[in-house]
Amino acid sequence: MPFVVPRAPGLPDATWTAYGLTTLMVLPLVARRRAPVVILIAVLAAGALYEFTVDGPGQPLPYTGLVAFYTVAELSSPPKRIGIAVLMAPAVVASVGLGSDDMRELLFSLFVFAAAYAFGRFTVTRRAYLRAVEDRARQLELTHRIEAEQAAARERARIAREMHDILSHAVSLMIVQAEAGPVAVRTAPERAEAAFDAISETGRDAMVQLRRMLGVLRENEGSPREPQPMLAELPGLVARVRGSGPAVSYEVTGRPRPPGPAVETTLYRIVQEALTNVVRHADATTVRI
C-alpha cells in the first residue's frame, strides 16, 4: 500500500529501484517449499539491501520474512529450523535497533515471528492428524469390507447347506417312490397312485423351498422372503416321508418352550436329514421321531 497510496508531503516518492527491490523480496517465495532456508536468507538479504540502499516506503510488517520463516518451521528438519529460529532473534533485534529502536516494535516483531514459527509447527501437527484420521478411515473401511465378505461367505455356506438338505431329501423320496411305483402298479394300484401323489407333493415342496432360497441370492433387497421352516412344519414333513414307505411316528413330550427361529430351523433340518438318510441308506420299515 505505501507504493499505491500517495505519501505524506516531504517524504521521497517511490522509485523504480524501490519497486525492483520490493519485487525481489517477493518473487523468491515461489520456490519457498523447495528450499525454505535458502529462500528465507534471500528474502532477508533483499530486505536488508532495501533498508540500507533505498530511501523508499517502509512496510509495517516484514510480510515476506514471516512467510519464509513459517515455511522453514513447516518443512525443515529439526536441527535446521531450530538453528534458524535461534539466529532470527538477534536478526530481529538488530533490524529494529537500526530502524526505530522502539521497545514496543521490538516486542511486536519478536511476537509475530514466534507466531509464524508456531503456525508452521501447527500445520505439521494438523497434517499428521489428518493423515492419521484418513489412515484410520481406510482401516475401518477395509475392516468393514472384510467383515462383509466373511458374512457373505458364511451366508453362501449356509445357503449351500440348506439347498443340499432340501434337494437331498426331496430327490431321495422321489427316487424311492419312483422305484416302488412300477411294483405297486402291478400289485396294489391304490398304493401306486399314492406314490405318484407323494412324488408330486415332494417335488412341489422342493420347488417352493428352492425358490425361497434362490430369492435370498437375488440382488433386489426389496423382494419378499418367506420364513425358514419351523418345528410346526414337522408333521407335514413326516406325512410326506410316511407316504414313501416307512411307517413314521411323531411324538412331542414335555412342556413346549420356543427355542428361537434359528434353533427351530436347525432342528427341522436335522430331522429332515435324518429321514433322508433313513430313506436312502436304511432298510427300515418304522421310524420314530
The C-alpha cell 515461489 sits at 30
Tens-place pLDDT, residues 13-34? 777 888 888 888 899 999 999 9
Output the average pLDDT for the chain: 82
Residue 170 has pLDDT above 50, yes or no: yes
pLDDT at 225 over 60: no
Hunting for cell 524501490 — which residue is that? 18
pLDDT tens digit string along 228-269? Answer: 778 888 888 888 888 766 888 999 888 888 788 878 888 888
Report pLDDT for 68: 93
Using the predicted structure, report yes or no on whether residue 3 has a pLDDT greater than 80: no
Which cell goes with 125?
Answer: 501437527
285 neighbors 182 (Cβ within 8 angstroms) = no
Angle formed by the axes of helices 16-26 and 36-53, to 10°? 160
**What's the DSSP call for residue 14?**
P
159 against 44, higher pLDDT: 44
Instruction: Using the predicted structure, report yes or no on whether residue 181 has a pLDDT greater than 80.
Output: no
**So what's the pLDDT on residue 217?**
64
94 — pLDDT class (breaks 50, 70, 90): confident
Report CA dihedral (162, 166, 167, 169) to the nearest 10 degrees: 130
Task: Look up residue 198 and give its three cell numbers.
Answer: 407323494
Give me the DSSP letters along 105-132. Answer: HHHHHHHHHHHHHHHHHHHHHHHHHHHH
Q: Is the pLDDT at 221 greater than 70, yes or no?
A: no
**CB within 8 Å of 193: residues ≥ 6 apart:** none
Mapping DSSP to helix (H, G, I), strand (E, B) and coil, where does residue 229 land? coil
Q: How many CB atoms lie within 10 A of CB 176?
A: 20
Residue range 101-138, pLDDT digits in tens: 788 888 988 899 999 999 999 999 999 999 999 999 99
**Looking at residue 239, what is its pLDDT?**
84
CB atoms within 10 A of CB 62: 20
- pLDDT-based confidence at 202, cuts 50/70/90? confident
Q: Give kind and range of the element (H or E) at residue 203.
A: helix 189-216
Cα 74 from Cα 118, distance rounded (Å)? 9
